[in-house]
Amino acid sequence: MQNGELQGNVKTRIRIIIISAAALAFGASIFTVSSAPNQLSLFSRAISPSIETPDDATAPSVRGSTFSHSTRAHREGKYASCESCHAIPTRNWATARKDPYPDVKNYPYHPSCFGCHAKDVYSNGGAFCGTCHTEASMRARGGAGVLPFPIKSHAMQFTTIFPHDLHQNLIASDTTRNDVALGHFMLASFAINATPTPTPAAAPAPVFYNCAICHKTITQMPKYVPRKITGEKSLADATADTFTALSKTGADFFKDGPDSHASCFTCHYQRVKPAAYDCAGCHRLTEPYFEKKAIERYSLKFSHSTTNHVNKDCTTCHVRITQNSDISKMKDADVPFQTCSTSSCHGSNIEEETKKREASSAAKQPAFQCSYCHTTAVGRYDIPPSHRKY
Amino acid sequence: MYILRLALLIASLASIGPLCVRAQGLGALDVQAKTVKINGKSILVRKRLYLFKGGLKDNKELIGRLRTAEVKSRDCFYTQMKASPQYICWLQAENCESPFCRTVATADIPRVPEFQAAYNAGLTKFRGLKSVADDWILTNMPAPLVSGFFENRRALTTSLLGSLKPVQSTMTDSVTIKAIFIDIPVTLPAGKKTETFLVSNIQPLEFGNKSYVWACEVEIGTEKKSSPLNLVTPDANKPQKNCEVIIRDLQVCKTESCKAT
């Protein structure tokens, strides 16, 4: 067996046995169905009759609240290993998606919790069951009775670890072709909608494989907002924005990014570390947070799809992405102003707008709001130093 | 963002002390690599370049290591890993260092024994789902044939760098074939308008049966415009004074020749 090789269901079964054994070693006093409270009768039909409980002293008390990965008992000892709860693939993988692939599409199963939480299981009318089931009671059922995993309304507890630098060394360095068709690295399920937005360019756009396996042009208008400017002076109140035909914000202005394992497991499922079962290799515990639902932009007039943008390699503009080792350190899409302002591209635009701004302030008139790349939400601020180097 | 940079700058200024106040600033560098051609083809496409403080003289030890590095050619690596000739040829067809650089087409599967074996293993493992077995073919191949060469080169780079820390590193793109370094911390020596830096690809670039390493000096200032550096095709008759290009013959291991695909 190669390192990290998964044995599918076999492995899962072994895992569950280990957990029960460990729970026993925990000093559990085994009780049987008959000694349990009344409401257990329903429950006992559903799951195996012998449930282990830990010492009363360490037994937690829970009232159907949200599971936290930061709770000490949930991350110490053998639970430091994510695998102790999360099975990969989960039994439902083949039916959980339209274009299925082996994935984590379900909660940990009962033995991962019931050992420590035996008391909670029977208390409060089975509120604990509501952690994972639609029915927060002993009447909880399997199948459709299990909540969709993960629960989207819950705060995220992890950030993703993905080093662009290493992966570019790996994917980008060899090829001199840009026109490789997508497909094999990516599952069909990962592609959003069937009909791609036609680009203004007549010829089909080149595909920059080294990025496009994970970032694609968006085909349905996403939510978007101008990025909040901090640390600079706003020189005027926002006014109504004007757009040209080319700068009118459209879906194909934007790129998406991975929101599933599809673009990772093609390489990492087994053998290539971190392998799929090593959740912590790609997920870093953090303060719970809610993901921003809208794409933030400095330039809402920038389109990835216009003729003179779509024909550039992604790294022509994203000049620092190949040295980024930690996406959590990226404050924005990191397209330094210099990459737009080189004289052949937008040098004249920034020169012109700078002059207009300076003229307006010299004439003590309301500040000129830069509108070539920006909407007024950004264009009414002081000119940042980066914009002075063109 | 630039507030942060400014704070960093002030912090680094403060550490120099009041006696020798040298001018500090941020510089930028444009490395043009389109002109580096072999057999009419630009070869420095999507290649990583590193930036170091100091010129060729200051980095003598690094240059020494680059000159004597033991470089194993791709073919030799894969031959030693017992790759099939079909697999080696499949990689060669697109000048690939590893299978990550091109898609495994469905038609390639029966042609390359490693792919066929991995596909078959995938079918068993992935509940007979052809699409997964096909898309995830690399997950069922022996690791040395998949990420082995990458790891070999990563180890080589680490040993070549030694304790030397690059200021930055970035890659050339595939359209303009340029590498752009920005926000380079520059400390101007007394009386000078620029500081000397060194640019090198460090990792020997394999082309034909030779390997190539560039190490070029460049002056970087803190003026508005980026400093330019042009990398050129090595020419024995016209050595460049600011560049050292190390060209070495590689051991040949290939046993069979590949048919053009």
Distance from CA of B2 to the nearest CA of A (A): 8
For residue B3, tell me if it sits in a domain: no
Residues of A in contact with B96 (CB under 8 A): 174-175
Distance from CA of B78 to the nearest CA of A (A): 16
B181 plus B243 within the same structural domain: yes
Sequence-distant (≥ 6) Cβ neighbours of residue B191 within 8 angstroms? none
Residues of A in contact with B101 (CB under 8 A): 171, 173-175
pLDDT of A39 strictly over 80: no
Please indicate whether residue B220 or residue A42 has the higher confidence score (pLDDT): B220
For residue B136, tell me if it sits in a domain: yes
Contact A269 B45 (CB under 8 A): no
pLDDT of B194 strictly over 90: yes
Q: How many domains does chain B have?
A: 2
pLDDT digits (tens, 9 = 90+) for A345-384: 999 999 999 999 999 999 999 999 999 999 999 999 999 9
Classified as helix, coil or strand, A281 is helix
User: What is the 3-class SS of B59-76, one letter each residue?
Assistant: CHHHHHHHHHCCCCCHHH
B236: its two tokens: 């024995």
For residue B154, tell me if it sits in a domain: no
Q: Which CATH number is B170's domain given?
A: 2.60.40
Residues of A in contact with B141 (CB under 8 A): 271
Q: State how far the Cα of B103 lies from the Cα of A180, in Å rounded to an integer.
A: 8
CA B142 to chain centre: 25
- When pLDDT is averaged across residues B13-25 and rounded to a whole number, the result is 56
B229 plus B186 within the same structural domain: yes
What is the domain range of residue B140? Answer: 76-146
The Cβ of residue A35 has, within 10 Å, a number of other Cβ atoms equal to: 8
Contact A265 B136 (CB under 8 A): yes
pLDDT of A9 strictly over 50: no
Residue A375 and residue A241 in contact, taking contact as beta carbons nearer than 8 Å: yes
Distance from CA of B7 to the nearest CA of A (A): 13
A209: its two tokens: 């494989």
For residue B6, tell me if it sits in a domain: no
Chain A with chain B: Cβ pairs closer than 8 A: 155
Identify which of A165, A266, A323 has the shortest CB distance to residue B138.
Answer: A266
Contact A384 B176 (CB under 8 A): no
pTM (2 decimals)? Answer: 0.89
Q: What sections of A93-222 are H helices per DSSP?
A: 93-96, 111-122, 164-171, 209-212
Confidence at residue B239, expressed as pLDDT on a 0 to 100 scale: 80
pLDDT digits (tens, 9 = 90+) for A154-196: 999 999 999 999 999 998 754 444 443 333 333 322 222 223 3
- When pLDDT is averaged across residues B140-161 and rounded to a whole number, the result is 96
In B, residues 167-226, which contact A (CB 8 Å cutoff)? 168-171, 173-176, 178, 180, 182-183, 224-226
B172 plus B243 within the same structural domain: yes
B57 plus B178 within the same structural domain: yes
Please indicate whether residue B165 or residue A48 has the higher confidence score (pLDDT): B165
B125 plus B170 within the same structural domain: no
B113 plus B239 within the same structural domain: no
Contact A170 B98 (CB under 8 A): yes
Contact A187 B180 (CB under 8 A): no
Tell which of B118, B146, B174 closes a domain: B146
B100 plus B211 within the same structural domain: no
Identify which of B135, B147, B174 has the shortest CB distance to residue A187.
Answer: B135
For residue B261, tell me if it sits in a domain: no
- When pLDDT is averaged across residues A272-286 and rounded to a whole number, the result is 97
Please indicate whether residue A78 or residue A56 has the higher confidence score (pLDDT): A78
